[in-house]
Amino acid sequence: MFKLIWGITGTGYILQELIDLMVDLQNNHDIDITVILSKDAYHVFKSVREMQ
């Protein structure tokens, strides 16, 4: 298994594409991903979650 740390800084304009890519990497390529969010990214994720 390959381990990867992925840092997200917070623009959010390709957020769904990033999530889809991470899911694909974890499910189909045996990669364990740890995501680190900046303070701004945290607020973007929170806003997107509230809109869904």
Strand partners of residue 32? 3
Q: Is pLDDT at 20 greater than 90 in this prediction?
A: yes
Strand partners of residue 8? 37
Instruction: Render 1-52 in DSSP notation, one character per residue.
Output: -EEEEEEE-S--TTHHHHHHHHHHHHHHS-EEEEEEE-HHHHHHHHHHHHH-
Q: What percent of the chain has pLDDT over 90?
A: 56
Q: Is pLDDT at 8 greater than 80 in this prediction?
A: yes
| Residue 45 near residue 37 (C-beta atoms within 8 A) | yes
Query: Which residue has tokens 């045996």?
Result: 30
Residue 49 is predicted with a pLDDT of: 82
